[in-house]
Amino acid sequence: MEDRNQITAKQLGVFILSAQVGLGVIGLPSDLAKAVGHDGWISILSAGLLSTLVTIILIALLRRHSNQSIFEINRYLFGNILGQTINILLILYLSFSMVAAFRYFTEFIKLFTMEATPEIILALLIIAPTVYLSWYGLKPVARFSQIIFFILFFVLVLSLLTIKKVRLTFLMPVGAADLTTLGQSIIPATLAFIGLELTVFLYPYIKDKENTLKWVVSANLCTMAFIAIIFVVTTGLFGENLLKMQVAPLFNLARYYRAPYLGRVDLIFILLWFPLLESTFRSYFFTTYDSLRRSFAFKNQKRVYGLYTALTILLSRLPNDMTQATQLAKGVNLSGIAVFGFLILCYLYSLINKGAKNRNEENAHRLHHHWLFVSVFRLLGSEAGQADRFCVTVGDRVITRAKAVTDQ
């Protein structure tokens, strides 16, 4: 495995965090306000704990198949034909996620800062650093993602500076939504944790795999805490009725604060947030290409990488405007929930499959002892001992094969 792709579990945690909070948090407060009102923070906490449970299951699946990605696991569990078909579907999911993130990011920049700039120019400016970093491997991509801590710190400080203006009455009464509404709102809240599934694709590159669970769970909990704080602050400032009408409440939060010497804090905030927005796209861009490279073993990787980049730009032009880009992003995110469900089923099937193989080994042992018992009597009183010794040999081979399959 190439050294340039080797990362630590801590770097993977940062990578997952940057994939989650980049685009997912922008419109989430507004979506939750529409779904469940001011009780959206309850949905966020519920979705965060649920996704943490999914994380534990994913890591358990990966640990059962040490040093393998989900592609190798699928071929092992379902066979070459069905497993490869599933792998292609997963690559398609990654591709659409990447395209959706790219187009949404482009439309967002045009809407808020560069309305007169041609979209193709914006697309080239956005994709250039991603293409450069991804070509040199996962390590530089993961290191670049570490800057999000400074951005998140800035956002949290900004939130604390505006907390004096938060009206607690906008957050009361707690639990006003009924259980059915809260349960339904968990789905849009879960969309903010999409990005977690990248763990199963990048797991072989982690050097200290024993620390993977700790850092990925920590990243997921940080995402949960960050989004919950943003929702509480934006709801407390604007109220749920005004929040429902906003496209990007997080940026309106920046406009709410005026620093004595900085002037337009929102412009500074937008400039700082851009690398984080791009990190979501970058995470999927690298993971998609790396999955293609490992699945199909391209000979001329430079040519394929150039074609892959060009196709990314062309496919991102399919949505015509911000509305279609948003719809595409939400549709892909819902597919991400389906991917979570599939990975959970993979873990359950691996448990059943392991049990079946253990039973096969036990049956092979029983068959061996039966043949051995018969052969002893045949050897004592029959000339058919040679045939029965053959049975014993076959029994030994069955046991050896069962052990080999079980140890895989």
Tens of pLDDT, residue by residue over 148-169, are 777 777 777 777 777 777 888 8
Please give the tally of structural domains in the chain: 2
Same domain (yes/no): 271, 188: yes
Asked whether the predicted pLDDT for residue 65 surpasses 80, the reply is yes
Query: Domain limits at 381?
Result: 357-407
Query: What pLDDT score was predicted for residue 400?
Result: 55
**Does residue 392 share a domain with residue 335?**
no
Nearby residues of 81 by Cβ (< 8 Å), 6 or more positions away: none
pLDDT digits (tens, 9 = 90+) for 370-387: 444 444 444 444 444 444
Residues 348 and 366 in one domain: no
**Stretch 251-275: mean pLDDT:** 68
> What band does 47 get if pLDDT is binned at 50, 70 and 90?
very high
Pairwise pLDDT comparison (164 vs 187), residue with the higher score? 187
Q: Which of 63-77, 154-168, 289-303 has the lowest mean pLDDT?
A: 154-168
**Does the pLDDT of residue 99 top 80, yes or no?**
yes
Residues 64 and 46 in one domain: yes
119, 110 Cβ separation under 8 angstroms: yes
More confident site: 47 or 174 = 47
pLDDT tier, 393 (very low <50, low <70, confident <90, very high otherwise):
low
Specify whether 253 is located in the same domain as 402: no
Residue of higher predicted confidence among 278 and 354 = 278
Higher pLDDT, 105 or 220: 220
286 shares a domain with 379: no
User: Does the pLDDT value for residue 389 go beyond 60?
Assistant: no
When mean pLDDT is compared across 39-43, 115-119, 232-236, the lowest value belongs to 115-119
Most confident range (mean pLDDT) of 19-33, 39-53, 233-247 is 39-53
- 245 shares its domain with 364: no
pLDDT at 374: 45
What is the percentage of the chain residues whose pLDDT exceeds 90?
Answer: 19
| DSSP string for residues in 114-138 | -TTS-HHHHHHHHHHHHHHHHHT-H
How large is the average pLDDT for residues 182-199?
A: 87
* CA–CA distance, 405 with 408 (Å, rounded to integer): 5
Please tell me whether residues 148 and 163 are part of one structural domain.
yes
286 and 214 both lie in a single domain:
yes
Q: Is the predicted pLDDT of residue 201 greater than 90, yes or no?
A: yes
Q: pTM here?
A: 0.81
Q: Which of 335, 354, 373 is the last residue of a domain?
A: 354
pLDDT of residue 87: 92
pLDDT for 257 equals 64
Mean pLDDT score of the chain: 79
Q: Picking from 152-156, 290-294, 348-352, 378-382, which range would have the lowest pLDDT averaged per residue?
A: 378-382
What's the CA gap between 353 and 381, in Å, rounded?
42
Average pLDDT over residues 273-293: 86
Same structural domain for residues 256 and 382?
no
Instruction: Assign residue 143 the CATH number of its domain.
Output: 1.20.1740.10
The CA–CA distances, whole Å, from 157 to 136, 154, 168, 368 equal 34, 5, 19, 70
Q: Are 41 and 231 in contact (CB under 8 A)?
A: yes
- Residue 259 bridge partners (DSSP): 263
Contact between 60 and 347 (Cβ < 8 Å): yes
- Are 215 and 12 within 8 A, CB to CB? yes
Alpha-carbon span 134 to 260, nearest angstrom: 40
pLDDT of residue 206: 92
For residue 42, pLDDT over 60 is answered with yes
pLDDT of residue 258: 62
Please give the average per-residue pLDDT across 73-85, as a whole number: 90
Residues 349 and 373 in one domain: no
Please name the residue that has the structure tokens 């989900």: 70
Q: What is the pLDDT of residue 287?
A: 92
Residue with tokens 């800062």, as numbered in its chain: 113
Asked if 261 and 402 sit in the same domain, the reply is no
Note the pLDDT of residue 57: 93
Residue 317: enclosing H or E segment and its boundaries?
none
CA separation for the pair 278, 98 (Å, rounded): 11
When mean pLDDT is compared across 196-205, 247-256, 282-291, the lowest value belongs to 247-256
